[in-house]
Amino acid sequence: MTIESGTKKYLLLAIVLSVVLFAGIIATAMSMRGDIGDGKLKVTASFYPMAYLAEEIGGDHVTVTNLTPAGAEPHDFEPSARDIARIEDADLLLLNGTVEVWGERIVSQLGAANVRVLIAAEGLMTLEGAHDSHGEEEHHEEDGHTEEEHEALDPHVWLDPVRYGEQAERVAEALIALDPENETAYRDNLASFMVRIAALDTEYRTQLSQCVTEDIITTHTAFAYLAARYGLHQEAITGLTPEAEPSASQLAEIAEFARANEVTHIFFESAASPALAETIASEVGAQTLVLHPLEGLARGSDQDYFSVMRENLANLKVALRCTE
């Protein structure tokens, strides 16, 4: 073999190796961006109730990212730069609406990103989220509730199984629009989900139909839709966000309401401090129970929307002294 032919051989080998290496780099980069993958739709969901809908309706045809970490408060969550990159790379951004204080800003910044946005609670938020009226002082900022909060619509529609079912239907339609080839799978998953929703609704209706009282005292105004659906009356210690601090006069009014209506249990949320509930309970001789707002689940939890809602039902039956 001549020197010239050997040089050509090594040059050709170098070119081949360069092409292979370059192809590998491109494939890795595209895979990181999601351009090469398993063909599944990429869904970014703002927090647990939205992620759960995407997983249940999407099934094997979606990859779902829940933006709000386990244990984080979705009312306070702010997406990181990495989260924003995930949103921009997704096929669908799934929001509830209002809970996500960052939602409108991020959506307006998506620009050329080809991301479909679904606000699943749009049109379903019909109840004001203000603290129940206990007097004129509630309209002033110093009572712990601003005018803006009094005028806000309550976003916690997922705690009403019927409204949650309506959100599921909207998620299914969004997935079908993005992936019509798998329409049958999405509609089948939706049908199965709606059967479970109907069963849950029936359980709530029948098991809360014969109770001594209809009054529930909760830490914050999260259960208005659930209460309205099943004929209950919610009195909340704070407003739409659990971080709001009630005034001494509000605490006194809640305590007086508890005494006047013989409330035996004060509800608090599993992920929040029970201090306020315990304060009221101690004042009136009541006990405390958990009423889960399902804004998120603990890390590693084996529960889901339906199991938590049934735990809520069991605790409501205790507090309301139901006979069913």
pLDDT digits (tens, 9 = 90+) for 145-200: 443 444 578 999 999 999 999 999 999 999 999 999 999 999 999 999 999 999 99
DSSP 42-98: EEEESSHHHHHHHHHHHGGGEEEEESSPTT--TTT----HHHHHHHHH-SEEEE-SS
pLDDT in tens, 264-314: 999 998 777 788 899 999 999 999 999 999 999 998 999 999 999 999 999
CATH of range 41-200; options 3.40.50.1980, 1.10.12.10, 3.30.110.40, 3.30.310.10: 3.40.50.1980
Write out the two tokens for 243. Answer: 């971080």
Residue 214 backbone zone (phi > 0: left; psi -120 to 50: alpha; other: beta): alpha
Query: From residue 309, how far is each of 200, 239, 288, 301, 318 by CA, in Å?
Result: 8, 22, 18, 14, 14
* Residue among 114, 56, 54, 60 nearest 87 (CA): 114
What fold is seen in the domain 209-320? Rossmann fold (3.40.50)
Q: What is the pLDDT of residues 108-139, one digit of tens each?
A: 988 778 999 999 999 999 998 644 333 333 33
User: How confident is the model at residue 319, as a pLDDT?
Assistant: 98
- Each domain of the chain, given as residue ranges in start order, spans 41-200, 209-320
Write the CB contacts of 229 (distance below 8 Å, at least 6 apart in sequence).
160, 161, 162, 163, 201, 204
Alpha-carbon dihedral sign for residues 141, 222, 153, 85: positive
Count of other CB atoms within 10 angstroms of residue 48: 21
Q: How confident is the model at residue 1 (pLDDT cuts 50, 70, 90)?
A: low
Domains 41-200 and 209-320 agree in fold: yes
Per-residue pLDDT of 231-254, as tens digits, reads 999 999 887 665 567 888 889 999
What SS3 class is residue 230? coil
C-alpha to C-alpha distance for 88 and 103, rounded to whole angstroms? 13
Whole-model pTM: value is 0.82
Rounded to an integer, what distance in angstroms lies between the CA atom of residue 128 and that of residue 56? 29
**Interior angle at CA 150, CA 69 and CA 228, nearest 5:** 75
Residue 228 has a CB neighbour count (10 Å cut-off) of: 16
Q: Identify the pLDDT of residue 272.
A: 75
